[in-house]
């Protein structure tokens, strides 16, 4: 790569980064649509190999995705809302336990100023807010419909996601070929090699991580249901979603399950059973799920994953969190090649 080409690509990268930063409030549906197109492209390619046209393949893929989403919502949303409303109704019992057990312990053993905590006010505020809203569905809708423009913006963004995903998936191979054709001829082979390697890493990570999250949600939810814990599926769902950050799903789910078990059961055996569910889930994740579904091709250290998610959220908000892990995986591939180039350079041998 010549010096002029290096400066050209550096300027283009900086301009694209600035553009993403300035346009981040409207990028969410496009980023989600691109994610859908990227993950669904292999399935559309397989249908094309079987003789279907690209448009027909994309339509079939979107129909399957739509059916799966609708079935999932019909099965999970009612259960989720019922358990969440029931959990909110438990707030008075939690407040009573805090006042009668936890606060006296903190006051006598740790010399904590109870007046500064204002937990009574917090509990009363939460209870009154949820009672007025009439449940989680009403609360969500009150935010969405706070203004006409807010509602229109939400509906517009939701409508854009499948539209963007459909057209990007239909033209995915054409777009990749056009980008490849635009590259300077002397750098095209190396860039193609790097992009292919990045694609392998992203495919293994994104699709594998989603499967790991889904599997962990089922393991935690079913395991806690067998224990007899209330809100088992709700806790399992939250723990599975939080598992995108290493050990966060385990920590969040375990703490929530222990708190619920503390109020539901009088026996320490229930606490042991809940602990066993999460220990088994964590063991299955590290020994079976992650090696089988993701493998060792990623090379992202857990600390790097945590930092990437936090940094992406800090810099670009929700869009940054969506893009954090894919970008981190790509940066890891590029750093690996830069390290190899450095080891083979005269700078390293001096």
Write down how long the chain is.
Answer: 350
Distance, C-alpha 231 to centroid of its chain = 21
User: Residue 263's closest CA among 112, 93, 29?
Assistant: 93
Q: Is the pLDDT of residue 69 over 70?
A: yes
Within a domain: residue 65?
yes
Q: What is the pLDDT of residue 260?
A: 83
| Number of domains observed in the structure of the chain | 1
Structure tokens at 17: 């980064």
Within a domain: residue 43?
yes
Within a domain: residue 124?
yes
- Torsional class of 2: left (φ above 0), alpha (ψ -120 to 50), beta (otherwise): beta
Within a domain: residue 343?
no
Within a domain: residue 269?
no
Structure tokens at 306: 């945590």
Residues 224 and 274 sit within 8 Å (Cβ to Cβ):
yes
Backbone φ and ψ of 135, nearest 5° = 125, 175
The pLDDT confidence band at residue 191, using thresholds 50, 70 and 90, is confident
DSSP 8-state assignment for residue 171: T
Structure tokens at 201: 């890493």
Determine the structural domain holding residue 36 and report its residue range. 29-182
Highest-confidence range of 25-34, 129-138, 250-259, by mean pLDDT? 250-259
Structure tokens at 31: 């980023």
Q: What is the pLDDT of residue 245?
A: 73
Within a domain: residue 239?
no
> Could you count the other beta carbons within 10 Å of the beta carbon of residue 68?
10
Q: Token match 């917090």: residue? A: 122
Within a domain: residue 116?
yes
The pLDDT confidence band at residue 264, using thresholds 50, 70 and 90, is confident
Within a domain: residue 167?
yes
User: Residue 235's closest CA among 122, 223, 181?
Assistant: 223
């Amino acid at each position: 790569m010549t010096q002029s080409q290096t400066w050209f690509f550096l300027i283009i990268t900086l301009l694209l980064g600035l553009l993403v930063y300035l346009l981040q409030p409207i990028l969410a549906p496009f980023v989600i649509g691109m994610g859908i197109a990227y993950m669904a492209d292999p399935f559309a390619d397989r249908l094309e190999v079987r003789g279907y046209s690209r448009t027909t393949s994309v339509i079939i893929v979107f129909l399957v995705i739509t059916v799966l989403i609708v079935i999932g919502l019909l099965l999970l949303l009612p259960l989720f809302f019922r358990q969440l409303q029931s959990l909110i109704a438990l707030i008075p019992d939690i407040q009573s336990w805090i006042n009668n057990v936890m606060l006296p312990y903190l006051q006598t053993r740790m010399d904590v100023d109870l007046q500064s905590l204002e937990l009574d006010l917090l509990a009363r505020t939460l209870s009154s807010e949820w009672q007025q809203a009439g449940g989680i569905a009403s609360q969500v809708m009150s935010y969405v419909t706070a203004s006409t423009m807010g509602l229109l913006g939400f509906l517009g963004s939701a409508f854009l996601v499948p539209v963007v995903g459909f057209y990007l998936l239909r033209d995915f191979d054409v777009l990749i070929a056009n980008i490849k054709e635009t590259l300077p001829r002397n750098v095209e082979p190396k860039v193609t090699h790097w992009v292919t390697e990045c694609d392998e890493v992203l495919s293994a990570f994104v699709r594998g991580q989603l499967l790991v999250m889904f599997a962990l949600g089922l393991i935690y939810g079913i395991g806690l249901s067998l224990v007899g814990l209330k809100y088992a599926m709700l806790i399992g769902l939250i723990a599975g979603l939080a598992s995108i950050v290493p050990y966060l799903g385990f920590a969040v789910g375990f703490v929530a399950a222990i708190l619920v078990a503390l109020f539901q059961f009088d026996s320490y055996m229930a606490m042991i059973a809940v602990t066993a569910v999460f220990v088994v889930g964590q063991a299955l994740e590290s020994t079976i799920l992650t090696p089988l579904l993701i493998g060792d091709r990623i090379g992202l250290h857990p600390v790097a994953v945590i930092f990437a998610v936090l940094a992406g959220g800090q810099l670009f908000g929700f869009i940054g969190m969506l893009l954090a892990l894919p970008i981190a995986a790509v940066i890891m591939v590029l750093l690996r090649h830069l390290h190899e180039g450095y080891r083979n350079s005269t700078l390293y041998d001096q």
